[in-house]
C-alpha cells in the first residue's frame, strides 16, 4: 500500500506489475502523474490519462488530480480517487455503469458531479465528504447505499427519481445543510421514508428550513411530514396522495398543491383539515444552480405563478469571476424564462483574466515597486523612489510620459512601465556650527557642498568645478 504518502507526486508502474489492490494511492493528495510502462499485460495509462486502467475490462483502478477519464471506461473501482483533495471537478463518461465504494470519498473540493445514466446503484460512501451543493440522481438509479452522500456539508438540494426502491437511512447523514428534497420515487417503501424523517431529518440543525416536494406520480407520502415542523410541503399530484402511517396531527408549514386543486384536496379527510394552509402553485418547477459554488450563485428573482408562467433568474458572480452563460447556452443575465415544464438552469462562471504589470528603472538611480499579477478591473499602484542624487521625472509607457508618482490605474491589459530618474538639481540650506552658512546641491548626480565660497564633495574634499 502506498496510501497517505502526502508528498508523492509521480508514480510509474513497471511493465512487470500484474496486481494492484484497491485504494493503493488513496489520500495521496499531491499525486499528479500516474504512468504505466509500455508492455504491461494487465494495466495501461492510455492517452496519457494519468490513471491506472485494467485493460481487459476498461476499469479505472486508481486516479489522481490530473486524471482525464477515457471515454471507453465502464467502471471506476473502489477507492479509485479517495482522499484526493485537489480534485475540483471531474467528467465521468456516460458509458460508466459502476462506481465503486469510497470511489470519491474525501474529495473535499470536488464540487461538481454528474452521475452517468447507466448507474443503477450508488454504493456506500461513494461521494462521502464531497463539496457538491446539489445532486440529481439519474432515473435509472434504484438504490442508494449507506453514507453515499454523508458529510457533504455543502449539499443543499437532493432529487430522487421515480425508479428508486431503496434509500438507506444513513445515505445523507451529517449533510446538515440540506434545504430541499424532491421525492419522485414510486416504489420506495414509505415506512422507510417515515423512519428516515424521524431518525435523521429531525436531528438536522436546520430541519425547520427543509422543504419537501413530491412528484406528479407519487401516490403515497409519509405522515411524519405532518409532525415535523419543516419549511414547506409541495405535492404535485392532481389527485391527493394517500397519507401513510400514523394519523397526521399538525404541520407548521405551508402546503403547496397544483393550480385549481384546492377544492379537490379539501374534500379528502386527511387533507381537508389543512385547508387553510393550502396554497395553489404551478406544478412545473424551476430550479437554478451553479457549476462551481466557489465562483458565484444563482437565484430566482421572480417566480412563475398560476396566472403567469414567466419567471426571472439571475446569476451573481463572486469577486474575480464573471458569468458566461446558462447551461442551455443563453447568455442573458438577468433572464426571463417561460416555465412550461420542470426546468433547471445552471449558471456557468469563469475566472476573470489576470494581467502582468511590469515596472522597471535604472537600478543605479532608484527603485520601483508595484509589479505583479492583477485581475482585470483591479487597481494597481506603482511607485518610484529615487536614490540620493537623483529625482523622479516620469513614467514611460508605449512612448507616452506619465508624471504621477505614485501612479494608480485600472488594469485592463498587460503593461510595462519604466521609471525615469534624472540628476537632482534642488538646493538645500545646511546648518554648520549653528550658522546657516553652507548650501548643498547636486550636479551631474554628485552631492556638492558650498561653504565660505569653496566647494567640497560629500567626503569633505575641496573640489573645483569647471564649466
pLDDT at 451: 74
Strand 400-402's sheet: what is its strand order?
372-375, 354-360, 415-423, 390-397, 400-402
Classify strands 372-375 and 366-369 as parallel, antiparallel or unpaired.
unpaired
Identify whether 83 is part of a domain: no
Strand 75-76's sheet: what is its strand order?
43-44, 52-54, 59-62, 75-76, 98-99
C-beta of residue 125 within 8 angstroms of C-beta of residue 99: no
Q: Are residues 213 and 274 in the same domain?
A: yes
Identify whether 385 is part of a domain: yes
Give the count of alpha carbons within 13 A of 300, CB side only.
17
Boundary-marking domain end, from 283, 314, 343: 283
Give the count of alpha carbons within 13 A of 151, CB side only.
17
Identify whether 231 is part of a domain: yes
pLDDT at 39: 96
Boundary-marking domain end, from 283, 304, 321: 283
Tell me how far CA of residue 122 lies from CA of 190, 364, 455, in angstroms. Answer: 20, 67, 90
With pLDDT > 70 as the criterion, what percentage of the chain qualifies? 88
Q: Are residues 340 and 328 in the same domain?
A: yes
pLDDT at 230: 78
Identify whether 125 is part of a domain: no
pLDDT tops 50 at residue 434:
no
pLDDT digits (tens, 9 = 90+) for 43-71: 999 999 999 999 999 999 999 999 999 99
What b-and-e string marks burial along 86-100, b requiring 16 or more CB atoms within 10 Å of the CB? ebeebebbebbbbbb
Identify whether 32 is part of a domain: no
How far is the C-alpha of 262 from the C-alpha of 277, rounded, in Å? Answer: 10
Identify whether 25 is part of a domain: no
Q: Which of 420, 291, 435 is nearest to 349 (CA)?
A: 291
What are the beta bridge partners of residue 350? 322
Report how many domains make up the chain: 4
The residue behind cell 502526502 is 6
Mean local confidence (pLDDT), 196-213: 70
Give the three-class secondary structure for 125.
Answer: coil
pLDDT tops 60 at residue 445:
no
Q: Are residues 277 and 318 in the same domain?
A: no
pLDDT at 285: 86
Boundary-marking domain end, from 224, 258, 283: 283
State the cell numbers at 36.
Answer: 504505466
Reply yes or no: is the peptide bond before residue 205 cis, omega within 30 of 0. Answer: no
pLDDT tops 80 at residue 449:
no
How far is the C-alpha of 25 from the C-alpha of 6, rounded, in Å? Answer: 10
Of 24 and 425, the one with more pLDDT: 24
Give the three-class secondary structure for 277.
Answer: helix
* Cβ atoms within 10 Å of 45's Cβ, excluding its own: 22
How far is the C-alpha of 102 from the C-alpha of 127, rounded, in Å? Answer: 7
pLDDT tops 60 at residue 435:
no
Give the three-class secondary structure for 316.
Answer: strand
How far is the C-alpha of 442 from the C-alpha of 388, rounded, in Å? Answer: 9
Q: Are residues 327 and 361 in the same domain?
A: no
pLDDT digits (tens, 9 = 90+) for 330-343: 999 999 999 999 89
Identify whether 63 is part of a domain: no
- The domain of 226 spans 209-283
How far is the C-alpha of 129 from the C-alpha of 322, rounded, in Å? Answer: 28
Identify whether 130 is part of a domain: no
Q: Are residues 256 and 274 in the same domain?
A: yes
Reported pTM: 0.67
Of 334 and 194, the one with more pLDDT: 334
Q: Are residues 216 and 259 in the same domain?
A: yes
368-377: Cβ within 8 A, 24+ apart: 368/417, 368/419, 370/406, 374/411, 375/320, 375/411, 376/352, 376/411, 376/412, 377/352, 377/410, 377/411, 377/412
Residue 434: partners with Cβ closer than 8 Å, 6 or more residues away: none
pLDDT tops 70 at residue 431:
no
Q: Are residues 419 and 361 in the same domain?
A: yes
Q: Are residues 216 and 277 in the same domain?
A: yes
How far is the C-alpha of 355 from the C-alpha of 352, rounded, in Å? Answer: 10
Ranges assigned E (strand) in 215-273: 220-222, 232-235, 242-244, 254-258
pLDDT digits (tens, 9 = 90+) for 162-179: 999 988 878 988 888 888
Q: Are residues 213 and 279 in the same domain?
A: yes
pLDDT at 16: 97
How far is the C-alpha of 334 from the C-alpha of 314, rounded, in Å? Answer: 5
Q: Are residues 245 and 270 in the same domain?
A: yes
Amino acid at each position: 500500500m502506498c496510501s497517505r504518502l502526502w508528498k508523492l507526486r509521480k508514480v510509474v508502474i513497471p511493465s512487470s506489475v500484474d496486481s494492484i489492490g484497491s485504494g493503493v494511492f488513496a489520500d495521496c493528495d499531491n499525486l499528479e502523474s500516474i504512468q504505466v510502462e509500455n508492455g504491461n499485460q494487465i494495466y495501461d495509462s492510455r492517452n496519457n490519462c494519468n490513471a491506472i486502467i485494467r485493460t481487459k475490462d476498461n476499469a479505472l483502478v486508481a486516479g489522481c488530480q490530473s486524471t482525464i477519464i477515457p471515454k471507453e471506461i465502464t467502471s471506476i473501482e473502489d477507492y479509485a480517487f479517495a482522499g484526493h483533495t485537489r480534485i475540483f471537478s471531474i467528467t465521468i463518461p456516460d458509458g460508466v455503469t459502476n462506481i465503486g465504494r469510497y470511489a470519491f470519498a474525501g474529495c473535499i473540493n470536488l464540487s461538481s458531479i454528474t452521475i452517468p445514466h447507466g448507474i443503477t446503484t450508488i454504493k456506500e460512501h461513494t461521494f462521502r465528504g464531497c463539496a457538491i451543493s446539489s445532486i440529481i440522481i439519474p432515473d435509472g438509479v434504484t438504490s442508494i447505499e449507506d453514507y453515499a452522500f454523508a458529510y457533504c456539508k455543502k449539499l443543499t438540494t437532493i432529487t430522487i427519481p421515480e425508479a428508486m426502491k431503496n434509500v438507506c437511512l444513513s445515505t445523507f447523514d451529517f449533510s446538515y445543510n440540506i434545504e430541499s428534497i424532491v421525492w419522485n420515487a414510486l416504489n420506495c417503501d414509505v415506512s422507510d421514508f417515515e423512519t428516515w424523517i424521524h431518525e435523521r431529518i429531525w436531528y438536522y440543525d436546520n430541519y425547520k428550513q427543509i422543504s419537501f416536494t413530491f412528484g406528479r406520480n407519487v401516490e403515497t407520502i409519509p405522515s411524519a411530514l405532518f409532525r415535523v415542523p419543516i419549511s414547506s410541503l409541495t405535492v404535485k399530484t392532481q389527485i391527493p396522495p394517500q397519507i401513510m402511517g400514523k394519523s397526521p396531527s399538525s404541520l407548521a408549514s405551508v402546503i403547496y398543491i397544483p393550480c385549481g386543486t384546492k377544492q379537490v384536496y379539501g374534500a379528502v379527510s386527511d387533507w381537508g383539515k389543512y385547508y387553510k394552509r393550502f396554497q395553489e402553485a404551478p406544478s412545473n418547477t424551476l430550479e437554478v444552480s451553479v457549476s462551481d459554488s466557489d465562483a458565484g450563485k444563482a437565484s430566482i428573482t421572480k417566480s412563475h405563478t398560476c396566472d403567469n408562467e414567466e419567471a426571472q433568474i439571475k446569476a451573481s458572480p463572486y469577486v474575480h469571476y464573471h458569468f458566461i452563460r446558462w447551461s442551455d447556452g443563453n447568455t442573458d443575465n438577468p433572464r426571463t424564462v417561460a416555465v412550461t415544464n420542470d426546468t433547471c438552469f445552471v449558471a456557468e462562471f469563469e475566472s476573470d483574466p489576470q494581467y502582468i504589470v511590469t515596472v522597471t528603472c535604472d537600478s543605479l538611480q532608484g527603485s520601483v515597486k508595484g509589479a505583479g499579477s492583477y485581475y482585470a478591473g483591479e487597481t494597481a499602484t506603482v511607485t518610484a523612489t529615487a536614490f540620493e542624487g537623483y529625482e523622479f521625472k516620469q513614467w514611460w509607457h508605449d512612448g507616452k510620459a506619465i508624471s504621477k508618482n505614485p501612479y494608480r490605474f485600472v488594469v485592463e491589459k498587460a503593461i510595462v512601465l519604466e521609471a525615469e530618474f534624472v540628476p537632482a538639481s534642488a538646493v538645500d540650506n545646511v546648518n554648520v556650527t549653528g550658522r546657516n552658512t553652507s548650501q548643498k546641491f547636486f550636479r551631474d548626480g554628485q552631492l556638492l557642498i558650498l561653504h565660505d565660497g569653496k566647494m567640497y564633495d560629500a567626503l569633505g574634499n575641496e573640489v573645483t568645478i569647471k564649466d
